[in-house]
Structure formats: C-alpha cells, structure tokens
C-alpha cells in the first residue's frame, strides 16, 4: 500500500512539473509573433503564438479603391495565413517540449488550450 502511495506522489510531482512546463510554453507562445500576408501584400495581420490578433495593416490604396468585398477577402486571407503560422509555431514548441515524441491527441489538446493545433 505504501508503495502505491509513493507511486501516486511521483505521478503528482510529474503532473506539477508538466503543468509548469506547459505554462512556460504558453508564455513563449504569447511572445511569439507571426505575420500573415494576403496575396499581393496589401493586407498584413500580426498574431501571437496564442492566435491573438495584435495588429492589422491595410494598404491605403486598397481602401481608396472603394471595394469593401475585396478588402474583406484579403483580411480573411491574411488572418488565415497568420493563424497557420501560429499553429505551426505551437506545434514546434510542443515538439521541443516533448522531446520530439509523437503524442496521440496533442493537436486536439493544443486547440482546446487555444494554442493552435487542429482547427476547432
């Protein structure tokens, strides 16, 4: 029985260590910047590694053209590009955190934590 308690204690310590490690991953991702660009470069969206939009730049000439549908489409394209980069950054961080192990369900876990991974 005491051996089982020792195993439980070790398991809890590992869980605490992993939790602290994941917090470090989240902090690194919060500081990571990814810039997505629409075709033609007239729209740029910057996000961090946690998929939070930080900045949006739209070429004034595009706005002056007076075609809101084009602007909307280019904003979506730039945002999707930036989010794709942020997901790749999150996957890279997790690969480093796990020592390259392929953990089943890791993409879904990342998505649930808002750290990229598989689309929701």
Give tens-digit pLDDT for 29-55: 888 899 999 999 999 999 998 889 999
Distances (CA, A) of 18 to 23, 87, 96: 9, 21, 13
99 in any annotated domain: yes
7 in any annotated domain: no
Q: Which domain holds residue 120?
A: 30-120
11 in any annotated domain: no
List the beta bridge partners of residue 57. Answer: 44
Backbone angles phi, psi at 53, to 5 degrees: -75, 130
19 in any annotated domain: no
| Separation CA 40–CA 36 (nearest Å) | 12
Question: What's this model's pTM, rounded to 2 decimal places?
Answer: 0.68
Strand 33-37 to strand 43-48: parallel, antiparallel, or no bridges (unpaired)?
antiparallel
47 in any annotated domain: yes
57 in any annotated domain: yes
62 in any annotated domain: yes
Q: How many domains does the chain have?
A: 1
Give tens-digit pLDDT for 73-100: 999 999 999 999 999 988 888 887 777 6
CATH number (domain holding residue 112): 3.30.1310.10
């Amino acid at each position: 029985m005491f051996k089982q308690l020792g195993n439980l204690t070790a398991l809890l310590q590992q869980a605490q260590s992993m939790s602290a490690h994941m917090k470090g991953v989240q902090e690194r991702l919060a500081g990571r910047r990814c810039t997505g660009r629409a075709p033609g470069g007239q729209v740029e969206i910057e996000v961090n590694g946690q998929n939070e939009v930080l900045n949006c730049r739209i070429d004034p000439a595009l706005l002056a053209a007076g075609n809101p549908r084009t602007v909307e489409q280019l904003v979506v394209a730039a945002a999707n590009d930036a989010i794709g980069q942020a997901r790749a950054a999150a996957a890279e961080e997790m690969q480093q955190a796990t020592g390259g192990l392929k953990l089943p369900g890791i993409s879904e876990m990342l998505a649930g934590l808002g750290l990229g991974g598989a689309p929701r």
